């Protein structure tokens, strides 16, 4: 089925407000998690609860693409901001690149990514004449920076009734193990020039680019990546702000 947007978050919490607004026609539970198909703001959408982590996300999206043909995949949820990014709790971040942050090998000389190991995450793509259409991709999955900027401008002019916030664009870092130690987060930020980290985005970007589908990722900042202290987090604010942003993107049909 053709879709205007395939919307995916990891958890129920991150999508609850959107789910309540979708005019749902069908609910299915592949992989024991709900998918809501319906209309929202005049657009045909599939809202997927994908589950936490890269494997859950890749499995859900791959299965969804055997049944549906979305014009764009939009991944959304919360993220942790790296200290040097300038992002604060309640701000919004839009990805210009997704990075597999800890996929590689730790050697006595330091960390080595997939390129050093000689294993591309996605191989080069060529046409029928052997001409290169895409170089091999290793830890970094490039996204459309112009699309990210269009979305930033849409959100900057459209989010109202909220306290001051910032909207940043930049590289995101996806990890298997969240950085609950600031020095670890600082290392990842330096390694990739990252502004925030999450647990699903690189997998969603990977599936999207492998299937030639435009991809957008937006995160509400729930915490900064410092030595773990949950008392400093604000998940409700990050969740609310991010879902408001997704609503604006869909309402205005930004792609």
Q: Check: CB of residue 13 under 8 Å from CB of residue 239.
A: yes
In a domain, 86, yes or no: yes
**126 domain-assigned:** no
| Average pLDDT value for the chain | 96
Residues spanned by the domain of 16: 2-120+132-252
For residue 43, what is the domain's CATH number?
A: 3.40.50.1580
As a whole number of angstroms, the distance between CA 109 and CA 2 comes to 49
Residue 246 lies in a domain: yes
121-145 mean pLDDT: 94
Q: How many angstroms separate the CA atoms of 140 and 136, rounded?
A: 10
- Residue 218 to residue 204: CA distance in whole angstroms: 12
In a domain, 125, yes or no: no
Overall average pLDDT of the 37-61 stretch? 98
Q: Which of 75-79, 164-168, 244-248 has the lowest mean pLDDT?
A: 164-168
127 domain residue, yes or no: no
User: 216: pLDDT confidence band, cut at 50, 70 and 90?
Assistant: very high
pLDDT at 157: 82
Give the model's pLDDT for residue 160: 63
Give 130's DSSP letter.
S
Q: Phi and psi (nearest 5°) for 41?
A: 55, 35
In a domain, 187, yes or no: yes
What values do phi and psi take at 136, rounded to 5? -60, 145
At 255, is the pLDDT very low, low, confident or very high (cuts 50, 70, 90)?
A: confident
**Measured distance CA(9)–CA(41) in Å, rounded:** 19
- The C-alpha atoms of residue 142 and residue 24 are separated, in whole angstroms, by 33
On the question of pLDDT at 162 being above 70, the answer is no
Q: How many domains would you assign to the chain?
A: 1
Q: Which long-range contacts link 18-22 to residues 24+ away (Cβ below 8 Å)?
A: 18/47, 18/243, 18/246, 18/247, 19/47, 21/247, 22/47
25 within some domain: yes
Kindly state the percentage of the chain with pLDDT values over 90: 95
* Confidence at 247, pLDDT banded by 50, 70, 90: very high
pLDDT for residue 161 is more than 80: no
Q: Does the residue 238 lie in any domain?
A: yes
pLDDT at position 35 over 90: yes
């Amino acid at each position: 089925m053709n879709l205007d947007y395939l919307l995916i978050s990891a958890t129920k919490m991150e999508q609850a407000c959107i789910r309540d607004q979708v005019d749902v026609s069908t609910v299915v539970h592949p992989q024991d998690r709900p998918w809501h198909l319906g209309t929202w703001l005049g657009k045909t959408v599939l809202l997927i609860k994908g589950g936490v982590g890269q494997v859950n996300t890749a499995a859900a999206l791959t299965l969804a693409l055997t049944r549906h043909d979305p014009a764009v995949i939009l991944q959304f949820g919360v993220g942790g901001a790296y200290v040097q990014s300038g992002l604060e709790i309640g701000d919004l971040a839009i990805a210009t690149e997704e990075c597999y942050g800890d996929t590689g090998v730790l050697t006595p000389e330091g960390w080595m990514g997939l390129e050093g190991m000689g294993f591309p995450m996605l191989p080069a793509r060529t046409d029928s004449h052997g001409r290169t259409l895409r170089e091999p991709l290793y830890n970094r999955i490039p996204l459309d920076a112009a699309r990210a900027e269009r979305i930033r401008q849409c959100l900057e002019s459209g989010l109202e009734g909220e306290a001051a916030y910032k909207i940043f664009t930049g590289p995101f870092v996806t990890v298997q193990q969240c950085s609950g130690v600031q020095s670890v987060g600082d290392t990842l930020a330096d390694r990739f020039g990252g502004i925030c980290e999450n647990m699903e985005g690189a997998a969603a970007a990977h599936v999207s680019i492998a299937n030639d589908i435009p991809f957008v990722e937006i995160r509400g900042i729930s915490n900064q990546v410092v030595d773990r202290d949950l008392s400093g987090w604000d998940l409700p604010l990050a969740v609310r702000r991010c879902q408001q942003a997704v609503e604006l993107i869909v309402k205005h049909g930004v792609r």
